[in-house]
Amino acid sequence: MSDSLVRDKILDTASRLFFEQGYNLTGINQIIEEADIARGSLYNHFGSKSELLLAYLDKAQQERLAETEAYVKTVKDPQKKLLGIFDYRIQRQQQIGYRGCQFIKICAEVSRDDIKVFELVEAHKERLRNFILDLVRQTTHNPVLSDELFADTVFLLLEGSTTSVGFSRNVRGLRQARKIVEGLLVS
Amino acid sequence: MSDSLVRDKILDTASRLFFEQGYNLTGINQIIEEADIARGSLYNHFGSKSELLLAYLDKAQQERLAETEAYVKTVKDPQKKLLGIFDYRIQRQQQIGYRGCQFIKICAEVSRDDIKVFELVEAHKERLRNFILDLVRQTTHNPVLSDELFADTVFLLLEGSTTSVGFSRNVRGLRQARKIVEGLLVS
DNA sequence: ACAAATAGATAGACTTGTCTATATATATAA
DNA sequence: TTATATATATAGACAAGTCTATCTATTTGT
């Protein structure tokens, strides 16, 4: 058997279910059934459901950032790179069925003193903000906003529009956000 | 006896708990205990937990919109009115302990086919967007963005920064968003 | 043989919602 | 004013199911 094919099956299934139907609405029973593994195996690889949650968040976090960077790497112009972030988000939301941001969703589901979850999400968002800031520094944009402030503009528009996908169940907000950034870039 | 002092006690307690610790993490038992009412009374006034949720959302929805409008009404200048929306949000988040948007949180907690919840939230956000659009039409702002697009800018910045409160547990994002709107207004 | 996976029973705490029986307060009728 | 009816509150038992997590005993693969 592979080093841990079972572990991957568990994490993949849990990840899908946590995102698609929510953490609290997903039970251990459903995970082991859909992953087709034994209950004992799950608790052998992950000490508890909340450990599984942290593993999910950390993996998703790395994947989202890597995919964003990969998507953006296909274009040269820094301005187009910035817009590419929105393009990636639009494409992804269409693929996953307009579910919004997976990290925001988890923050809304866990107890306030699940500090590890909040720190993990905060760190991820900070990495994203820095990635945007790096790109912003290579662009010329509307001079009324400093680089820092323009990076926050892009970041907050991205956050707001991705969140809006969650309740509107469409990507209108993301398209508008893209247009706005485009407008602020050319001037 | 008052028209329904009991009903109010139930709804107020449930509202507080749903927001502070989440819908799924709040049980009927905790609600009746903290509201200090009988189990039967709860089910007499609300047919089920999900009916209680809808009542919570609808009341909160009206309150947030009314409070926003009241806050903004204290100033005359349309530009300052727009910024006042952010001031209100900052003040409120500080009061409630940096918990982010109560509507986004609920959307993250319920099943995807709880359509009534999503429609209620969507309608609320649409009202907010229209309120912003009305104000935007009375301002002069950066000409690279149309009124519609500038209204979306304000709306999405507001959404993004309020959401960011939820994981950062501070109002930095809201303050930045306010600065950005201020910058785009004066030019 | 050894490690890891399996099925499945089980514990114990929790969930929502229903039910009964009792108490209390208000409104109506004699 | 007194008696009765109605509505609403109460406490609390209870059903039927969920949840996470632990444990045992067996089978499988290397």
In a shared domain, residues A37 and A71: no
Chain-chain contact of A156 with B153 (C-beta, under 8 angstroms) = no
Interchain contact, A108 vs B111, CB within 8 Å: no
Nearest residue in chain B measured CA to CA from A150: B180
pLDDT score at A4: 85
Say how far A95 CA is from C4 C1', in Å.
36
Residue with structure tokens 């109002």? B171
Question: Which of A47, A70, A85 is the last residue before a domain boundary?
Answer: A47
Q: Quickly count: other Cβ atoms within 10 Å of residue B110's Cβ.
A: 19
Work out how many domains chain B is built from and give that number.
2
* Bases of chain D within 7 A of a CB of the protein: 8-13, 18-25, 29-30
Q: What is the pLDDT of residues A3-36, one digit of tens each?
A: 689 999 999 999 999 999 999 999 999 999 999 9
Phi-psi region of B75 (alpha: psi -120 to 50; beta: other; left: phi over 0): beta
In terms of CA atoms, which chain B residue is nearest residue A158? B160
Q: Residue A146: which CATH number?
A: 1.10.357.10
Burial of A16 (0-12, 13-18, 19+ CB in 10 A): middle
**Which nucleotide does the CA of A28 lie closest to, via C1'?**
D20
pLDDT in tens, A61-98: 999 999 999 999 999 999 999 999 999 999 999 999 99
Subunit contact A167:B108, Cβ cutoff 8 A: no
Whether residue A85 sits in one domain with residue A30:
no
Residues B164 and B121 in one domain: yes
- Contact by Cβ (8 Å): A119, A57: no
* pLDDT of the residue at A43: 96
Residues B70 and B157 in one domain: yes
Contact list in A for residue B149 (CB cut-off 8 A) is 176, 179-180, 183
Q: Are residues B140 and B81 in the same domain?
A: yes
Domain that holds residue B101: 54-186
Chain A residues near residue B110 by CB distance under 8 angstroms: 22
Residue lying closest to nucleotide C20, CA to C1': B40
**Spans in chain B with pLDDT lower than 70:** 1-3, 187
Residue A159 has pLDDT above 50, yes or no: yes
